[in-house]
Structure 1
Amino acid sequence: MKKTLKILVIRLSSMGDIIYTTPVVRCLKLQLVDAEIHFLTKPAFKYIYEGNPYVDKLLLLQKNLSDTIYQIKAEKYDYLIDLHNNLRTSLIKFKTGIPASTFKKQPLQKWLYLKWKWKFISDKHLVDRYLETVAFLGIKNDGQPINYYLKRQYKLPDLLPASHLPNYVVFIIGATHFTKRMPNEKVAQICNDINFPVVLLGGDDVKINGDEIASFTGKKIYNACGTLTLDQSVFLLTQAHKIIGFDTGLTHIAEAFDKPVASVWGSTAPELVGVWPYQKKDAEVIGVDLYCRPCSKFGLEKCPLGHFKCMKDIPNQQLINFANKADASF
């Protein structure tokens, strides 16, 4: 009897990076007949793969790395696919001795781009670079978008006021760092000229921002920041007319659904981090060309030069036109 191939894919963080591993897992499961595909991540990110039909088992990183290593050894994997490539995953590979294929990071190239704007980084999307890691198994890109699966279905009237039904635009105002987020007043100006009710999404950390934006626009905006679960927020994305969002996990999750997405970039840049709406025709990437941009890979707490032009200079009309355009085919 032919032995079943057993593979562990590893990506420990963060939300966006893990979201972009889903095409790799899907291709492995569909293209390797009878293969068993497991995925290892941190407990905080387990929701990304819960309910994913292409994963046979979800492993969670334990507080003591040796416990995780023991669990991996017990599974007797044929291959480890390391899509993280950090100290922890290096220790896992060393301690288990399992044949591994490792994602190639570009730390020097990214540093040169940030410091001197010398562009030696790959122009491939992160998903395509992840897929190169499993090419030795004969895996091919299936050309499909990322995957995300809702944990349950909801009813819109239970989540939104009647004034925002049935058609609304979602504006994702959350992002980890200040320089990834647009100033509140600018968001409000854009929302005022959108011809649909607007729902603001984000975590509890931007609830005050949402309240301020809503105060500029009256009943047109519904601030749902910090009031919904992630699953409920994702459900609202699946029902939205259009989606506008910054470089943050929820915006990347939005790419999994058949909805037009405008991806807005401030101090970070798609070419630096290697991500933009993947395999989506109904998407726009919006940012401005500046000598000082990008200034950071992850975002900063303030603009290093004090002017914050990367967000302030984005033309409002570009986002307004995106939201109001009836034809989603672009």
Structure 2
Amino acid sequence: MNQKTKILIIRFSSIGDIVWTTPVIRCIKQQLPNVELHFAVKAVFKDVVKANPYIDNLHLLTKDNLNDLIKTWKTEGFDYVIDLHKNIRTTKIKWKLGVKSYTYTKLSLQRFFFTRFQLKVMPDWHIVDRYMKTVEPLGVKNDGKGLDYYFLPEDEIAKDTLPLALQNGFDCFVIGGSSYTKLLPFNKMIELCDKISKPIVLVGGKEDSETGDKLAAYYQQKALTHPKGSTPIIVNYAGKLTISQSAWMVKNAERVFGHDTGLTHIGAAFHETVYSIWGTTSPIGFKPYCKNPVIFENNNLNCRPCSKAGRDSCPKKHFKCMTDIEFNF
């Protein structure tokens, strides 16, 4: 009987980065014989991988349990640690466990010069492919089947329970984002919604609920004052669903539009085309990992990108990276 190979994959956050690891998870499990696969993630993001059938054991990081996790991992007898996060915390984990480890190429220096000085030194090498490169020494290759996202039954929303306006099809607009400069201004959100002919479902986190309500109210008022016009139907689910329930809405949409944020990237697990919006950040290496990613961005600026993860305000005060975007689709 062949002895099991035990592998721990680490990617603690965030939603998009975690879903980008799913090809690694699948390919390891399918291509290596007799593998027991463990995955470590922050508890707040467990939805992204909790139903993944290729994971044998899920380890959840909380604010104060890292040392307990390390003690548990020492008893597991892992053969390999795959570090797809690469920070001080994961360096500590690898040192403490003392087993063979592989760490992905983060390109931190290139991203610094790209976002700080706008030097074109960032290779167009998608993070998914960098993750896959990390496990090549184990004999694992990218199978080209894209991203995965799996659901538990309680995450699935029956279509006949949706508002009648959505039951014949809808598009999805992911209105959330981790920072101000990754979000369209409200008037640009309206401009985008005006171009979408289908009913629109809004998804996002609790912090996006107010914006979603405002957008829905705007179109309700517009329908009253322009009854003969063509007014989009907006249904706001931002802040009202779990991550996986929101992902279910993304899956069942006919088209997905969204900012550079996790739910937009989840859309690439289900759709060949995903429409993504980029302001202060750049899609180079991070665009939706699907067959036909459509990118909305303003390439006529010498100050962009100015951040790898977004900012609280535009350093130049004009915010043209978002205000001058054109929606051509």
TM-score (normalizing by structure 1): 0.91
Describe the superposition over 1:4-31 as per-residue Cα deviations: whole angstroms up to 9, x where unpaired.
Answer: 1111111111111111111111110000
Letter in 1 for 2:158: K
In the TM superposition, what is the alpha-carbon distance from 1:215 to its structure 2 partner? 2.9
- The answer to whether residue 169 in structure 2 is matched with residue 156 in structure 1 is no
Distance 2:249 2:43 in 1: 24
1:214 shift after superposition: 2.2
**Other-structure match for 1:44:** 44
State how far apart, in whole Å, the 2-side matches of 1:210 and 1:120 are: 37
Q: Confirm or deny that 1:308 pairs with 2:319.
A: yes
Structure-1 separation of matches of 2:191 and 2:111: 34
Amino acid at match of 2:291: K
The gaps in structure 2 that reach 5 residues or longer are 224-232
* 1:239 pairs with 2:241: no
1:296 aligned partner: 307
Aligned with residue 270 of structure 1, among 271, 276, 283: 283
| Residues 170 and 240 in structure 1, CA contact (< 8 A), matched pair in contact too | yes
Cross-structure match for 1:194: 196
Deviation at 1:259, TM superposition (A): 5.6
Report the TM-score when normalising by structure 2: 0.91
- 1:1-330 equivalences under 5 Å are 1-62=1-62, 63-152=64-153, 153-158=156-161, 160-218=162-220, 220-258=233-271, 260-271=273-284, 274-278=285-289, 280-289=290-299, 290-316=301-327, 318=328, 321=329
Q: Please report how far the alpha carbon of residue 127 of structure 1 lies from its aligned counterpart in structure 2 after TM superposition.
A: 0.7
Secondary structure class of the residue paired with 2:269:
coil
- Give the letter for the 1:253 counterpart: I
Matched AA of 1:291 = N
For 1:139, what is the secondary structure of its paired residue? Answer: coil
Equivalent residue of 1:205, what SS? helix
* Structure 1: stretches of 5+ with no match in the other structure: 322-330
- Structure with the bigger RCO (C-alpha within 8 Å, sep 6+) is 2
Query: Structure 2 vs 1, CA of residues 117 and 163 (structure 1 numbering), >3 Å: closer, same or farther?
Result: same
Q: Secondary structure in 2 aligned to 1:58?
A: strand
**What is the Cα-based RMSD across aligned positions, in Å?**
1.5
Q: Secondary structure at the match of 1:41?
A: strand
Compare 112-121 and 84-93 and name the one that shifted more.
112-121
> Structure 2 CA distance, aligned partners of 1:113 and 1:66?
36
User: In 2, are the aligned partners of 1:238 and 1:259 still within 8 Å (CA)?
Assistant: no
Name the SS of the counterpart of 1:149 in structure 2.
coil
- Check the 8 A contact 2:176/2:183 in 1, yes or no: yes
- Judged with a 3 Å threshold, the aligned counterparts in structure 2 of structure 1 residues 214 and 259 are, in CA distance, closer, same or farther, namely farther
- How many Å separate the matches in 2 of 1:196 and 1:96? 52
Counterpart AA for 1:32: L
Distance in structure 2 (CA, Å) of the matches to 1:93 and 1:228: 36
Aligned residue pairs, count: 314
**CA distance 1:286–1:193, change in 2 (3 Å):** closer
TM-superposed CA distance for 1:206, in Å, is 1.5
Contact kept in structure 1, 2:287 and 2:293, CA below 8 Å: no
Query: What is the one-letter code of the residue matched to 2:99?
Result: I
Amino acid at match of 2:147: I
Q: Distance in 1 between matches of 2:83 and 2:192?
A: 42
Mapped contact 2:118–2:306 kept (Cα < 8 A):
no
Q: Percent same amino acid among aligned pairs?
A: 44
Query: How far is 1:170 from its partner?
Result: 0.8
8 Å contact from structure 1 (residues 156, 236) kept in 2: no
Q: Residue by residue, what CA displacement relative to the aligned partner does 1:143-173 show, whole Å, maximum 9, x if unpaired?
A: 1111111222321232x32123211111111
CA contact 2:147–2:268 (8 Å) conserved in 1: yes
Q: Equivalent residue of 2:177, what SS? A: coil
